[in-house]
Amino acid sequence: MIVCAAVVGPSYNPLHLQTFALDDDPLKYHYIVHCALDVIDERLSPPSPRSRGAGGNDPCLGYLYSTEDFKVYGYVSNTHVKFLLVLDDPETKDVRELFHRFHSAYIDAVSNPFQLPGHSITSRSFEARLRALASS
């Protein structure tokens, strides 16, 4: 199950972080996401990432790292927006599909003319779509 979904902007500005476990402290996830950004940075820094075969420019970075309880997955769009999902499953679902839906929801949220570019997203429909994603 997805326990946390986060969007981070091109200049590493946090745009959105949402948790789906009831009793958890969001701060913990901020920390996990923050650590994952270092991994993303590392993956993106060489122009053609080594030993990852043909998927060098694949937006879906896949598995990034794990903590004791969670696994963190990442996705980077063409516009350098980073998407992160924190999962607590031992077995991996189709994260590519999840990220695609996550990205679509984000696109619809930022296409709102009242959404200021580069500001954090506080749209209720975006949150609802992420909740639907988490419970799917």
Query: For another protein, which residue of 10, 25, 63, 119 counts as binding (CB under 8 A)?
Result: 10
Cα pseudo-dihedral 92, 123, 13, 105, rounded to 10: 40
C-alpha distances (whole Å) from 96 to each of 93, 119, 122 are 9, 26, 25
Smaller CB separation from another protein, 70 or 82: 82
x-or-dash string of contact with another protein, 19-58, rule CB under 8 A: ----------------------------x---------xx
**Using CB under 8 A, which of 111, 114, 124, 135 touches another protein?**
111
Report the greatest alpha carbon distance in the chain.
43
Rounded Cα distance, 50 and 31, in Å:
27
Contacts of 103 (CB under 8 A, 6+ apart): 75, 77, 83
For another protein, which residue of 13, 92, 104, 120 counts as binding (CB under 8 A)? Answer: 104
Q: Contact residues for another protein (CB under 8 A)?
A: 10, 47, 57-59, 76-81, 100, 103-104, 106-107, 110-111, 113, 117
